[in-house]
């Protein structure tokens, strides 16, 4: 069900067809309702006009016959009344038939009673408000009613009445009751046909919309599919262009863009390979003269005690710079391995707490030179992880060294937090900090917080970049926080087993003691 819902939500064709159907349904409903109302009003008006003419003729004929029977006996008058009533046929047998009802007026005091109806019509079918209108009017009055028969039948009808005078009986009301069964059946038939026509139109509009949308959506889907192939690395795909319309323009533009992208990516890949090869070759080629220089420097430095102070200092500087140069070559080689995607993990089981203590101990003399110290806080004494110990040690040494260089003679806190799946190490210093604008750049290659290259401290600018690559090679993450004058906080999060995903960030990059 969720899959169907997602497909519908992400389908442009469905959205267009659905919105078109909704709007079409609203328009058809409004138009159909208006048409049905007009047709119903027209049919009712025609039937009403016809019924009024028929009723006027019938009542006039009855009045004429009553005038002719004024001098006759009650028996003859009764015969005329019965003849007028019998002239009405049963409503169900003749669509033009009607019923006749004679009702005695309330002010009539005659004892002669001619109050009756045709075909067993209940005289109570005539509503009291219509009788009152007839008594006050000299013309025909009408109402829509329900015609009730004494047998229990009930049909829709139209009652038209007028005052009449019956000889020897006084003032009466004569009503002609017309059946509206055929009229209502006609209206129902029209409504059904309107409904079926509207339904057919909706389905036809949906089909036409689907055909039109399909012509537009199909190339869009094709473009999306090809874009997905591009993302996967296949740049050979192109859109099929078969027409000369706007879609073909889109297809041609897309193909030109794809071809341009393919060329640009190929050029960048070639440049990247050249750069990687250059860095790797240069690094390897420099190793041989570097080894020679190191051997020569060690020989020269071994006689340092016999040198004068200036020459001895030069010898020490040469050894130090050769060490730095060797470290730079190692970093460049490691970067080239990451770029070539040939860096591999060699995981083993080890205690990361012991590793942290050992790294901190190795850097203790460096920390003392900077008038700071490394303070380790861990709830547990042993945290066994499966990881590449060489790479994890390199990350820790980079973070510790970086913190020592920027601690500004303030203590450095190292926090260790672990659970069943992950382990996190936070390195917090309270030194110069990092400006917020440059914080996203701390892991960039060759970037250094101090733009001056002539400063006494600082490395090549590759340490944090390599540390981040090492962390991600374990499927871990390295986060950084900093604020000017309040120090920096680097958090390394690793899975307990290399290759697994980290489930949670056990230490937040933003420290709890930070308040802007």
**471 lies in the same domain as 379:** yes
pLDDT-derived band of residue 215, with 50, 70 and 90 as boundaries?
confident
Q: What angle do CA 239, 241, 247 make, to 5 degrees?
A: 95
**166 lies in the same domain as 87:** yes
Ramachandran region, residue 432 (left: φ > 0; alpha: ψ -120 to 50; beta: rest): alpha
pLDDT-derived band of residue 456, with 50, 70 and 90 as boundaries?
very low
Query: Count of domains in the chain?
Result: 3
Position 143 in a domain: yes
Position 213 in a domain: no
Structure token pair of residue 280? 């790797």
**329 lies in the same domain as 352:** no
Position 264 in a domain: yes
Alpha-carbon distances, residue 95 vs 46, 47, 88, 92, 174 (angstroms) = 15, 12, 12, 7, 21
Position 217 in a domain: no
**Which residues are CB-contacts of 253 (< 8 A; sequence separation ≥ 6)?**
none
Do 488 and 403 form a contact (C-beta atoms < 8 A)?
yes
Position 155 in a domain: yes
pLDDT-derived band of residue 455, with 50, 70 and 90 as boundaries?
very low
**428 lies in the same domain as 401:** yes
Runs of H (alpha helix) within 239-388: 246-302, 309-339, 352-362, 364-369
Closest by CA to 353, choosing from 425, 427, 428, is: 425
Q: Which long-range contacts (CB under 8 A, 24 or more apart) does 257-266 make?
A: 258/226, 258/230, 261/230, 261/235, 262/235, 262/236, 265/235, 266/235
Q: Indicate whether this model's pTM tops 0.75.
A: no
Structure token pair of residue 264? 């640009």
Position 468 in a domain: yes
**31 lies in the same domain as 53:** yes
DSSP per-residue string spanning 42-88: HHHHHHHHHHHHHHHHHHHHHHHHHHHTTTS-HHHHHHHHHHHHHTS
pLDDT at position 460 is 58
Alpha-carbon distances, residue 316 vs 295, 298, 311, 366 (angstroms) = 14, 10, 9, 18
pLDDT at position 22 is 86
**323 lies in the same domain as 368:** no
Domain containing residue 176? 15-186
Each residue's pLDDT tens digit, 257-276: 777 877 777 777 776 666 66
Do 65 and 100 form a contact (C-beta atoms < 8 A)?
no
Do 100 and 117 form a contact (C-beta atoms < 8 A)?
yes
Position 231 in a domain: no
Each residue's pLDDT tens digit, 39-48: 989 999 999 9
CATH number at residue 110: 3.30.450
Helix (H) / strand (E) containing 412: strand 412-418
**379 lies in the same domain as 322:** no
Query: Pairing relation of β-strands 412-418 and 374-378?
Result: parallel
Domain boundary among 339, 358, 385: 339
**332 lies in the same domain as 441:** no
**359 lies in the same domain as 273:** no
**377 lies in the same domain as 462:** yes
Domain boundary among 339, 371, 395: 339
Instruction: Give CA–CA dist 118/91, Å, rounded.
Output: 10
**173 lies in the same domain as 74:** yes
Position 229 in a domain: no
CATH number at residue 282: 1.10.287.130
**360 lies in the same domain as 319:** no
pLDDT at position 110 is 85
209 has a pLDDT exceeding 90: no
CATH number at residue 478: 3.30.565.10
Alpha-carbon distances, residue 49 vs 52, 148, 253, 356 (angstroms) = 5, 23, 70, 105
Domain boundary among 154, 171, 186: 186
Sheet holding 170-179, edge to edge: 116-117, 98-104, 170-179, 154-166, 141-148
């Amino acid at each position: 069900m969720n899959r169907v819902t997602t497909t519908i939500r992400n389908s442009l064709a469905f959205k267009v067809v659905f919105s078109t159907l909704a709007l079409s349904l609203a328009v058809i409903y409004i138009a159909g309702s208006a048409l049905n109302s007009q047709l119903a009003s027209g049919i009712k008006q025609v039937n009403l006009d016809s019924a009024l003419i028929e009723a006027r003729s019938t009542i006039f004929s009855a009045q004429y016959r009553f005038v002719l029977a004024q001098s006759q006996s009650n028996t003859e008058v009764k015969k005329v009344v019965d003849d007028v009533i019998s002239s009405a046929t049963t409503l169900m047998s003749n669509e033009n038939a009607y019923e006749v009802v004679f009702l005695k007026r309330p002010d009539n005091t005659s004892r002669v009673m001619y109050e009756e109806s045709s075909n067993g019509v209940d005289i109570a079918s005539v509503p009291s408000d219509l009788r009152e209108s007839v008594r006050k009017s000299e013309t025909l009055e009408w109402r829509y009613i329900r015609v009730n028969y004494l047998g229990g039948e009930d049909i829709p009808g139209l009652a038209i009445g007028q005052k009449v005078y019956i000889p020897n009986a006084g003032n009466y009301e004569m009503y002609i009751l017309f059946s509206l069964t055929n009229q209502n059946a006609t209206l129902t038939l029209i409504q059904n046909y309107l409904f079926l026509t509207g339904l057919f139109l909706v389905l036809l509009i949906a089909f036409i919309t689907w055909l039109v949308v399909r012509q537009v959506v199909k190339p869009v889907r094709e473009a999306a599919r090809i874009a997905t192939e591009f993302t996967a690395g296949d740049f050979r795909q192109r859109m099929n262009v078969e027409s000369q319309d706007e879609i073909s323009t889109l297809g041609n533009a897309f193909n030109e863009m794809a071809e341009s992208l393919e060329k640009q990516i190929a050029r960048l890949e070639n440049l990247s390979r050249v750069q990687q090869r250059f860095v790797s070759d240069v690094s390897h080629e420099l190793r041989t003269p570097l080894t020679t220089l190191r051997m020569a420097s060690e020989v020269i430095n071994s006689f340092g005690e016999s040198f004068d102070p200036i020459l001895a200092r030069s010898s020490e500087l040469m050894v130090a710079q050769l060490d730095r140069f060797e470290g730079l070559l190692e970093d460049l080689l490691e970067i080239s391995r990451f770029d070539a995607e040939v860096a591999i993990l060699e995981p083993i089981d080890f205690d990361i707490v012991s590793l942290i203590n050992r790294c901190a101990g190795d850097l203790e003399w460096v920390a003392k030179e900077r008038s700071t110290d490394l303070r380790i806080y861990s709830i547990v004494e042993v945290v066994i992880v499966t990881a590449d110990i060489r790479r994890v040690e390199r990350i820790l040494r980079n973070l510790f060294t970086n913190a020592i260089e920027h601690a500004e003679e303030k203590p450095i806190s190292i926090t260790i937090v672990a659970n069943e799946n992950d382990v996190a190490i936070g390195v917090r210093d309270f030194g110069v900090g990092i400006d917020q604008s440059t914080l996203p750049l701390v892991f960039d290659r060759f970037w250094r917080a101090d733009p001056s290259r002539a400063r006494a401290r600082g490395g090549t600018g590759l340490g944090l970049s390599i540390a981040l690559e090492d962390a991600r090679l374990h499927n871990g993450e390295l986060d950084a926080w900093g604020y000017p004058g309040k120090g920096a906080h680097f958090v390394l999060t690793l899975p307990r087993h290399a290759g697994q995903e980290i489930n949670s960030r056990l230490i937040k990059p933003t420290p709890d003691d930070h308040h802007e």
